[in-house]
Structure 1
Amino acid sequence: MSVVSISMPEALLERIDEFADEHGYSGRSEVVREGARALLEEFQGRAADGQTHTCTVTVVFEYCQHAVQQRLTGVRHEYDGIVSATTHAHVRDRYCMELYVLEGTAETLSGFVNRVRAVPDVRAVDYAIITFEEGRVDQHIES
């Protein structure tokens, strides 16, 4: 097994160590390996189907972080073809929240989510994917 060196904030390292202790992992390496596997596989099952999916992406960052907002706007424009809607809200007087509604293949959705995750100083990124199956949607509407 190869050994790699990574940089991360001390607070995140402490959370990883606590998580490893609380959940019975042998150490932080095992937690990081499992997290990396999950990240690499999260879109894999849907990528092969070629279908169009609908996805909501929620991004949280600290209020008045103009550089973050500019970078997110850049990502939004880069993926303009799949962005159906966006909205901005203030949360708890300290945070901004951007909500994106996307429609595209798993590959393009994954690209968007990964680009947003790479924006420095983003506090959280969460997403949900919905696949509308034609037969099931039509059936539900008719009944």
Structure 2
Amino acid sequence: MTVVSVSMPDELLERIDAFAEEHGYTGRSEVVREAARNLLGEFDDEGLEGRDLMGLVTVIFDYEATDIEQRLMHLRHDHDDLVVSHVHNHVGDHYCMELFILEGDLEDISAFVGQVRATQEILSVDYSVTPVDQVGRLV
């Protein structure tokens, strides 16, 4: 097995170590391998390929972070054909939440989520994807 060096904040490493111990993992490498497999498999659902999808992407960040809101707005405008709606809201004392409502195919939604996740200083990214042809059945 190849050994890989990864940089991460001490706080995250401490959380990984605690998680490994609490959940019976053999160590941090096992946790990171499982997390990588899960991340890579998130959009690997053959049932979603070739279908029109709706996506909700929720982003949380500290509003005191330098220019994160501006970077998210650039990303939003770069994907104007994908983002059908966008909501900005204040959460708690100094956090902001961005909610992006998307409509497109799996590849485009996956690329957007990947670019949001790659934006530095974001605290949390959560998303869901639903085929548009299933919306009537969900109500």
Corresponding residue number in structure 2 for 1:20: 20
Tell me the amino acid that sits aligned with residue 53 of structure 1.
Answer: L
What do you get for the CA RMSD once the two structures are aligned?
1.9
TM-score, normalised with respect to structure 2? 0.93
1:2 aligns with 2:2: yes
Superposed CA offset, 1:68-94 (max 9, x none): 111111111111111000010000011
Tell me the amino acid that sits aligned with residue 103 of structure 2.
Answer: E
How far apart, in 1, do the equivalents of 2:73 and 2:41 lie?
27
How far apart, in 2, do the equivalents of 1:48 and 1:2 lie?
32
Moved over 2 A (4+): 46-49
Any residues of structure 2 matched to 1:1-143 within 5 Å, and which?
1-46=1-46, 49-133=49-133, 137=136
Q: What displacement does 1:67 show?
A: 1.1
- Which one has the bigger helix percentage? 1
How far apart, in 2, do the equivalents of 1:56 and 1:46 lie?
19
Tell me the amino acid that sits aligned with residue 43 of structure 1.
Answer: F
Tell me the amino acid that sits aligned with residue 40 of structure 1.
Answer: L
Unaligned runs of 5+ in 1: none
Unaligned runs of 5+ in 2: none
How far apart, in 1, do the equivalents of 2:85 and 2:119 lie?
20
Which 10-residue stretch deviates more, 112-121 or 47-56?
Answer: 47-56
The answer on whether the counterparts of 2:89 and 2:98 sit within 8 Å (CA) in structure 1 is yes
Q: What displacement does 1:105 show?
A: 0.6
Q: What displacement does 1:35 show?
A: 0.3
Matched residue pairs, number? 139
The answer on whether the counterparts of 1:54 and 1:101 sit within 8 Å (CA) in structure 2 is yes
Tell me the amino acid that sits aligned with residue 72 of structure 1.
Answer: L
How far apart, in 1, do the equivalents of 2:35 and 2:47 lie?
20
TM-score, normalised with respect to structure 1? 0.90
Superposed CA offset, 1:50-83 (max 9, x none): 1110011000000233411111111111111110
Which 10-residue stretch deviates more, 35-44 or 60-69?
Answer: 60-69
